[in-house]
Each structure stands twice: as structure tokens, then as C-alpha cells.
Chains A and B, each alone.
Chain A
Amino acid sequence: MNDNINFKVESGGLSFQNPILTASGTFGYGKEFEGLLDLRCIGGLVTKGISPKPRYGNPTPRICETASGMINSIGLENVGVEGFRTEKLPYLKICGTRVLVNFFGATIDEYVGCAESLGAMDGVDGLEMNVSCPNIKAGGIEFGTEPSVLVDLVRACRAVTRKPLWIKLTPNTSNIVALARACADGGADGLSVINTVTAMAIDIHTRRPKIATTFGGLSGPAIKPIALRMVHQIHRAGVGLPISGIGGIQNATDVIEFLLAGASTVQIGTQSFIDPAVSGDLVEGLREYCATHGVSDIRELVGALRLS
């Protein structure tokens, strides 16, 4: 086994010991995995999304399983900015890995407030903005689906923090590249691609939706081909921002596919529910691939898809 393979990556204003991160909403605030996964083995973690005030989440049922995936509508339950600072941050400061804090708001002001407060906290290495939330002042249209709105939102948050700012894009759009460009224009440092795909499931016996809010977000292997396509579209368009690939990653093969498509880091989501230790095991799989294929630096794989 060749031990000289480099797994370190610089991406989106941060350095990571390896490209394996854990995705927001599937990793709690890190501490939940104490005893299940050695956080020092992963490149970084992304916390549950934080809003200005605590949120208690949606009524149940909140999740259901679908073919090769699951739909969730948790309702962005979280402890709020102050709860995060007092209850969650102390552990994250000593957890031994890079910490990105995901955040969101219902108005641009709320987003800016979060970015400023969270960005000022010691122990927060970077921010990841969830733009898949309804804009209450614009009739509930998602912030992240309209490039002209998105660029303003990114710019406003950019102005209040110097911490690396990543934008997590929604796949519920007809033009992912235009959204990626809006983020670049607004001054973002990186992109997380993709959030969940809007979906639903029906119980034919009760004739009811399988989750209480009717619609939810589809995650898991079912969305991997969509995520790969979007990562690659953005990469090919030359948007100029590094991409963290997310969507249905289960094993090292999936990770390599995302790297080849153009992602420089990846985030493990739903698979952490199925196997909480998976993120710590993936580097071994990457090592085997690299050794077999004569790859000495993991960065050689980024965007190395052969198209001709």
C-alpha cells in the first residue's frame, strides 16, 4: 500500500486533510456521532442549519423511505444562533475537524444576521448558506431559484463576514449554472451541490401523503445521478468556484465519481443514517483506488472526467 498518496485539499477558502465532509442535516451538531465515528478521520463536518431563533420543526410523519432514497420534511428544526453558541460550539471547538456551519433565514435580514453572528464565532471555520428556503417577503419563492435574488443575498452576507462562505444550491431549478454564476458574482467562496430534490410519496390505503407536509426533500442514492450531472455542468461552465459534491454517496466509488465530475470535496448525507461510521471508512477506499490507478495526489482526480 502506497502511503505517500496526498489526500489534502484546499477548497473554498479552507484546507482539509481529506475531501470527505459530512452534510448538513445528517450529522446533527457533531457531538451526536461521538463514540460512533472518530471525527479526526474526516475532512470536515457541516452542522445542522441554524436560524436566528430556535425552530421546533414540522409535525409527523416527517420521513418516509422511497426506492433507493428517503423523503424528509423535518422543518429545519434547530437550536438557533444563541443556542448554537452556548450549547453546541464548545464541543465543535475541540472536535478535531473543520467545522462549517450551515445557516438560513426567512428574509435577507435574517440571513445577514446569521452570517454576521456565526461568522464572528471562534471555532467556526466556514459558513454554508442554505438558499432552499421560501422568501417570505417575495411570496414564498425560494431564495435560491432566482439568480437576481440569489446574487443580492450572497452579496449581503459576503459583506458581513470574512469567513469562507459556501452556498448550498437547490436542484429544483432549470438552470443550475445561472445560479452558480450568481453565487460567484455575489462573492461566494464555494458551492455545495446539491440540496434535496423536492418530492412526494403517497399511501394508497389511506390516500394520504406519506409525510405530513405533503412535499419533502428526496435524498439518498436515488438522487446521485442528478447531483453528478449538476456538479459537472457547473464545473464545465467554468464558474470558477470550487464545488463540494453532495447526493447519495454511499461508498468510495461514489466519491470518485463526484471528484471526476468536478467536485473537490464531497459531503456524505443520508448514508450517515445507514452507517454512522461510513465517512471515516471512505479514505481507505480512496487510497486503494489511487494506488491501483497510479494516482499520487487526490487532487489529480478533480474534474478528470474523460470526455473524448
Chain B
Amino acid sequence: MRYFQTRVSENRSLEGGYFVLTLSGCEALKASKPGQFVMVRGEWERDPLLPRAFSLMTVGGDGTAEILAKVVGTGTSLLSRAALGETVQVLGPLGHGFPEPSVDCFDLLVAGGVGLPPLLMQAEAAAAAGLASQSELLYGGRRAVDIVLGERLLQIGTAIHISTEDGSKGHKGRITEVLLQRLQAAKKLGKKVRILSCGPNPMLHAVGAIAEAEGIESHLSLEEVMACGIGVCLGCAIPAKSRPFRYVCKDGPVFDGADLVYETKLKIGT
């Protein structure tokens, strides 16, 4: 595996600084699993210096791949403005993804903000396997503008529950409040319930704590700054129970929630 050259075939900007970047020439990503990620760099030379990690949102049979991102710094700003035909270097698929959808399980897919892509991919994979009714997508953001790709989500056929902190769309409050409600309903289905989640760290910590308290299996996709994506720079260390540190790029990005150490400085529910 090495970096391969792709081209921007579409760059769609959404409200709120979000954008969907479609790259062609991604045949190497065809077998990617939901939750796996890629390292991405434009023809940037030295500013920014390092590639950026993104979860995959879609890998098409036609060799295209999509990522959803939000402009937060120089790298995402440059990518958001990448022109059609521009070349982008990609390394992947990297890391371990979510467990596969199963007829024996009911999965609560909990997405926060820009953490949507791997869960969208998981929901679409489940639907493609005829398991759309075996999961629900719980999707939270600060404001209505943080809830993106609504039409595509509706097409999946999986039940969707939205929350916004300001109440401008869906339930007013945090997505973890919705999770607590839906968890009670899911438990009554008589199947093994799993939580699959991706979003900001405070949200993931709260989701992990809920799973732990309820005795439910959780699979959490973490984000950390990383320079390489291949287990060499050791920048993306996170504290764990099984070892002092685990690495988001090699051991994750999806972790068994029971192995994570929930930092006290990030108070649960805040």
C-alpha cells in the first residue's frame, strides 16, 4: 500500500462549513469497511505539512470515494476549496472498522456532528444486506445546520432520530438523551443491543458511560491528531484499560468502549 493519486470529481459545500468531497481513482478503497479511514493530502508542499485523517463515508463500485468534513483549520479549508480535477493523495483504507451488521443484533448508530460518515456508511451497508430494520440512526448536532445530508439519510430506510442542542431540529437537547430513550425501546426487542458511535470526544465519553452503565456493548470511533496514520508517529495515543496507551490509527479508530478510560476532565454529559 502506498499513497495513490486521486482527482476531485465533485466538491459540494453544505451549510455550516461542511462539505462533501468526492474523489475518483479510489479503486483501492473498494473493500473498505464502515469506520475505516484514509489519510489525505493535497498538493500542499509544506503548508500544511502533514496529511489529514478522514473517515470514509462512501466507497463506490466505480472507484469513487466520498468524505464529509467541516472546515476547522488550514487543511480542511484547502480541501473545501479544492477544484474539480485537482489531484489529492490518499492512503488507505486504514484502521479497523465497526462490527458487521447482524441479524442477531439491534444496533443503535449514534452520530454527533461531523462524526456522521462512518455511521451513514454502516447504515447503508446494513440496508444493502437487507438489515435496515436492525438499526436506528441517532444523529445530533448543535443547530439545525449541523444536521446534514437529510435526503440521503431518509433514503436508507433506517429509522432516524435527530436532536439539536438549540431545538432548531428534532429533539431539543443532546443526542445522549435520545440514546437513553431509544435504548429502553431497543432492549424490548429481545435481541442483543449494540451501540456504534462516532462524534466529538465528550459525546463519545458520555455514550461509553451509558453503555457501561447499561451493560451494553459499545464500539466507539475516536478521532485524534495523527501525523502518519500507520502506527509510527505514536501521536494518536489514548489511555486504555488493556494497555497504558492504545493508538487510534492502528488499534482503532473503532474501539471496544469497555477498554477506554473515560477522562474525568471531560465530565460525562457535558
Contacts and interface: CB of A to CB of B under 8 A. Distances in A.
Interface of A: 26-28, 32-33, 35-37, 56-57, 60-65, 67-70, 72, 74, 77, 220-221, 250, 270, 272-277
B50 A60 contact: no
B2 A270 contact: no
Contacts of B51: 274
Contacts of A272: 228, 232
Nearest to A63: B235
A155 B238 CA distance: 39
Nearest to A221: B46
Contact of B3 (A35, A62, A63, A277): A277
A221 B237 contact: no
B227 interface: yes
Contacts, number: 88
B244 interface: yes
Label chain B's interface by main secondary structure. loop
Interface residues of A, dominant DSSP: loop
B49 interface: yes
A273 B245 contact: no
B232 A26 contact: yes
Contacts of A57: 234, 237, 244-245
B49 A220 contact: yes
B237 A68 contact: no
A188 B143 CA distance: 63
Given A68-B46, A70-B50, A275-B3, A36 B235 contact: no
Nearest to B229: A273
Interface residues of B, number: 27
Name the 10 nearest CB pairs between A and B, nearest first.
Answer: A63-B235, A273-B228, A56-B244, A273-B227, A68-B46, A277-B2, A28-B232, A74-B234, A62-B235, A32-B232
Given A60-B237, A276-B228, 5 more contacts: A33-B230, A60-B235, A69-B49, A74-B235, A221-B49
A72 B233 contact: yes
Contact of B231 (A32, A65, A72, A275): A32
Contacts of B2: 36-37, 276-277
A61 B245 CA distance: 12
A87 to B, nearest CB: 14
Residue among B89, B225, B238 having the largest count of chain A Cβ atoms under 10 Å: B225
Given A274-B51, A277-B2, A32 B235 contact: no
Contacts of B41: 274
Of listed B225, B234, B244, residue having the most chain A CB within 10 A: B234
Given A32-B230, A32-B232, A277-B3, A63 B225 contact: yes
A277 B235 CA distance: 20
B225 A61 contact: yes
B83 to A, nearest CB: 22
A38 to B, nearest CB: 10
8 contacts: A56-B244, A57-B237, A62-B235, A63-B225, A63-B235, A65-B225, A275-B3, A276-B2
